[in-house]
């Protein structure tokens, strides 16, 4: 993968230098048929960054030409996501606002003899189209007169025909080696209520006809899309030309972003939502912008990640750990450090005076001293992690076991003297002694210990729920997950990849100074990782933390 290369920037530079363009307008054109995902973030960053670099403009345009799949819920969510990513659009447009103009351009094509109404069914059109090795065959309706076509198209618009009874096709070349030019369908009948235009229209333009017109109407100069549209570029240019659009946008393709363990098609993501595999589009396991936001990823991290993946013609697969790297980088200095115990085990410090509590001082973020310090209570009973005690440890286990001494972060050394089991043989309580000489910050050098544990004072601990995540899909290979097919077994295999252990919910405790944490606040829990307060499940009485990323990473840029 090429890093940071940007051939699109070079095209724009040349266009401005040669005078081909006087200004730059880009657009981000989502179809409002689902929530945005991280692949869309790439398109957003590319379009807005380029316009920014050349003092241009970027429109947010909803490509809403398919009434059956689109909804204003998605329009709202998409706007929110783009803004959250840190971008302000110049123009806000809906393709459906151009339906009248598109209709008129289609009429113009008919008048020029460049479009005709066809009565073939969808299947017949497909059969007549030919293949890569065989030329197409003319429809028997291809020779209709201009007058007849004008009349039929008008009647299509008036609603005289049912869905699929007729289509309008561009009249280009049934022998073209480019199948996209073999008289593509440009209008179809669909008696459906549109989220924006209601029942005003019953004919709708096809994407490949609508998109170039939308770009031209908005005077977009560089229409950036993904490489699956490369073969459509000649059709794009044909439509701009033959519809006599004044403005001549240029389509430029780049490779899609794919990341490991994730599907990136709205259709599949919708399936995960609709079939209840996740708790909505913003489930923290989803690769959607709203899911990443809820999980605790930051716009800064997403933008840095997307920029690092570079722009090239090829579509590589990017390791999701690269995104994790950037969120760690972003939160390192911003997130307060704290302690939380996710699987609590009680420790009684038997030689610590009963009823006494002392306040220990700790820096909020040692890497960012400006964040100041915090107070942590310490008393006779604390919680540690269950995994930080073993009755019978293996070699190189430096945490608590009978007779061993460890350091409690920000506090004292404690030594395990004894432990208590319940009737099932589970260890439920540890008894330790502490050494008052070893207080953190006292400069004690008498002896060393190998383990340092995090802990929370039991008497003041705030109960908290921890939600730990693993990838939602077990297969790393997105091409396998994305495989587009109508064969039912392929669909099945995608859902077969859903990881049954992708969410683990644990009840633990956090430091008392965190009781007022607000949704989306982010913290680094010592020895665990970065967590963010969940906006959906957190209530006045219950703090819920989502694991953003663990601290450890094997990933190197």
Site string for Mg ion, 6-45 (x = CB under 5 A): -------------------------x--------------
Of these partners, ligand ATP, Mg ion, none, which one is at the site of residue 136 (CB under 5 to 8 Å by kind)? none
Of these partners, ligand ATP, Mg ion, none, which one is at the site of residue 344 (CB under 5 to 8 Å by kind)? none
Q: Which of 553, 535, 555 is nearest to 545 (CA)?
A: 535
CB count in 10 Å sphere of residue 378: 24
* Residue 225 found at the interface with ligand ATP (CB under 6 A): yes
How many residues line the site for ligand ATP (CB under 6 A)?
Answer: 15
Task: Report the C-alpha gap between 77 and 97 in whole angstroms.
Answer: 20
Active-site position among 9, 31, 101, 470: 31
Which of the stretches 34-42, 244-252, 385-393, 429-437 binds ligand ATP when contact is defined by CB under 6 A? 34-42
Note the residue count of the chain.
557
* Residue 30 found at the interface with ligand ATP (CB under 6 A): yes
* Least Å from the CB of residue 200 to ligand ATP: 23
Q: Which CB atom, from 37 or from 295, has the smaller least distance to Mg ion?
A: 37
Interior/surface letters 136-162, b for 16+ CB within 10 angstroms, e for the rest: beebebeebeeeebeebbeebbeeebe
Which of the stretches 28-36, 169-177, 194-202, 233-241 binds ligand ATP when contact is defined by CB under 6 A? 28-36
Task: Report the C-alpha gap between 172 and 180 in whole angstroms.
Answer: 10
H helix runs in 85-177, sequence order: 99-111, 122-128, 146-158
Q: Which CB atom, from 66 or from 261, has the smaller least distance to Mg ion?
A: 66
* Least Å from the CB of residue 31 to Mg ion: 5
Instruction: Look up residue 248 and give its two tokens.
Output: 């001549």
* Residue 182 found at the interface with ligand ATP (CB under 6 A): no
Active-site position among 61, 182, 188, 256: 256
- By CB under 6 A, the residues from 282 to 311 that bind ligand ATP are none
- By CB under 6 A, the residues from 38 to 77 that bind ligand ATP are 39-40, 42-43, 63
Reduced DSSP (H G I as helix, E B as strand, rest coil) percent helix, strand, coil of the chain, to 5:
30, 25, 45
CB 206 within 8 A of CB 189: no
Q: Which of 256, 325, 410, 522 binds ligand ATP (CB under 6 A)?
A: 256
H helix runs in 244-375, sequence order: 266-274, 289-295, 299-308, 320-334
How many residues line the site for Mg ion (CB under 5 A)?
Answer: 1
* Least Å from the CB of residue 232 to ligand ATP: 12
Q: How far is CA 426 from the centre of its chain?
A: 42
31 included as an active-site residue: yes
Cβ-proximal residue to ligand ATP, closest one? 39
Q: Which CB atom, from 31 or from 429, has the smaller least distance to ligand ATP?
A: 31
61 included as an active-site residue: no
Q: Which CB atom, from 118 or from 215, has the smaller least distance to ligand ATP?
A: 215
Q: Which CB atom, from 64 or from 385, has the smaller least distance to ligand ATP?
A: 64
- Helices (H) and strands (E) in the chain — how many of each? 14, 27
Instruction: Look up residue 48 and give its two tokens.
Output: 């807005």
Q: Which of 217, 204, 232 is nearest to 66 (CA)?
A: 204
387 included as an active-site residue: no
* Least Å from the CB of residue 420 to ligand ATP: 54
Instruction: Look up residue 491 and give its two tokens.
Output: 């669909």
Active-site position among 105, 266, 337, 380: 266
* Residue 31 found at the interface with ligand ATP (CB under 6 A): yes
End-to-end alpha-carbon separation of the chain, Å?
12
Task: Report the C-alpha gap between 289 and 38 in whole angstroms.
Answer: 6
Q: Which CB atom, from 52 or from 173, has the smaller least distance to ligand ATP?
A: 52
Q: Which of 190, 196, 208, 226 binds ligand ATP (CB under 6 A)?
A: 226
Which of the stretches 24-32, 65-73, 237-245, 543-551 binds ligand ATP when contact is defined by CB under 6 A? 24-32
Residues 6+ apart with CB under 8 A from 13: none
User: What are the beta bridge partners of residue 224?
Assistant: 252
Helix (H, G, I), strand (E, B) or coil at 431: strand
Q: Which of 554, 469, 543 is nearest to 507 (CA)?
A: 543
Of these partners, ligand ATP, Mg ion, none, which one is at the site of residue 218 (CB under 5 to 8 Å by kind)? none
Q: Which of 315, 281, 280 is nearest to 39 (CA)?
A: 315
Q: Which of 264, 301, 453, 547 binds ligand ATP (CB under 6 A)?
A: 264
Active site residues: 31, 256, 266
- Contacting positions for ligand ATP (CB under 6 A): 29-31, 39-40, 42-43, 63, 225-226, 256-257, 264-266
- Contacting positions for Mg ion (CB under 5 A): 31
């Amino acid at each position: 993968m090429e890093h940071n290369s940007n051939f699109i920037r070079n095209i724009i530079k040349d266009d401005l230098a040669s005078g081909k363009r006087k200004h730059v307008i880009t657009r981000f054109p989502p179809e409002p048929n689902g929530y945005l995902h991280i692949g869309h973030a790439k398109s957003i960053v590319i379009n807005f960054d380029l316009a920014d670099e050349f003092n241009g403009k970027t429109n947010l345009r909803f490509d809403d030409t398919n009434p059956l799949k689109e909804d204003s819920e998605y329009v709202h969510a998409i706007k929110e996501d783009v803004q959250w990513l840190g971008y302000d659009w110049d123009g806000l447009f809906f393709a459906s606002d151009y339906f009248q103009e598109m209709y008129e351009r289609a009429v113009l094509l008919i008048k020029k003899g460049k479009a005709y109404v066809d009565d073939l069914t969808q299947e017949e059109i497909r059969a007549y189209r030919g293949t890569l090795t065989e030329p197409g065959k003319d429809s028997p309706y291809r020779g209709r007169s201009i007058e007849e076509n004008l009349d039929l198209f008008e009647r299509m618009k008036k609603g005289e025909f049912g869905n699929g009874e007729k289509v309008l096709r561009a009249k280009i070349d049934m022998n073209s080696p480019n199948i996209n030019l073999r008289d593509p369908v440009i209008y179809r009948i669909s008696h459906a209520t549109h989220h924006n235009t209601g029942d005003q229209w019953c004919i709708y333009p096809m994407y490949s006809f609508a998109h170039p017109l939308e770009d031209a109407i908005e005077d977009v100069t560089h229409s950036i899309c993904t490489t699956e549209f490369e073969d459509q570029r000649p059709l794009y240019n044909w439509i701009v030309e033959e519809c006599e659009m004044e403005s001549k946008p240029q389509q430029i393709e780049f490779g899609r972003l794919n990341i490991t363990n994730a599907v990136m098609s709205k259709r599949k993501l919708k399936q995960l939502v609709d079939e209840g595999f996740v708790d909505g589009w913003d489930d923290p396991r989803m690769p959607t912008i709203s899911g990443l936001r809820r999980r605790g990823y930051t716009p800064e991290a997403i933008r840095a990640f997307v920029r690092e993946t570079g722009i090239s013609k090829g579509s590589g697969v990017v390791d999701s750990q690269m995104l994790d790297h950037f969120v760690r980088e972003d939160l390192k200095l911003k997130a307060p450090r704290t302690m939380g115990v996710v699987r609590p085990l009680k420790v009684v410090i038997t030689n610590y005076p009963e009823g006494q509590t002392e306040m220990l001082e700790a820096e909020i973020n040692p890497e960012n001293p400006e964040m100041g310090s915090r107070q942590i209570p310490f008393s006779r009973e604390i919680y540690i992690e269950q995994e930080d005690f073993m009755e019978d440890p293996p070699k190189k286990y430096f945490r608590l076991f009978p007779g061993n001494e460890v350091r409690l972060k920000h506090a004292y050394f404690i030594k395990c003297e004894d432990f208590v089991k319940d009737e099932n043989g589970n260890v439920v309580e540890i008894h330790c002694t502490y050494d008052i000489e070893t207080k953190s910050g006292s400069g004690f050098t008498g002896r060393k210990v190998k383990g340092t544990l995090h802990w929370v004072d039991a008497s003041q601990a705030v109960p908290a729920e921890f939600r730990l995540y693993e990838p939602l899909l077990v297969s790393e290979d997105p091409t396998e997950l994305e495989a587009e097919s109508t064969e039912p077994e392929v669909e099945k295999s995608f859902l077969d990849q859903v990881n049954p252990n992708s969410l683990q919910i644990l009840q633990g405790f956090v430091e008392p100074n965190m009781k007022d944490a607000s949704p989306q606040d982010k913290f680094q829990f010592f020895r665990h990782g970065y967590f963010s307060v969940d906006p959906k499940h957190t209530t006045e009485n219950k703090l819920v933390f989502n694991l953003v990323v663990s601290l450890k990473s094997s990933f190197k840029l």
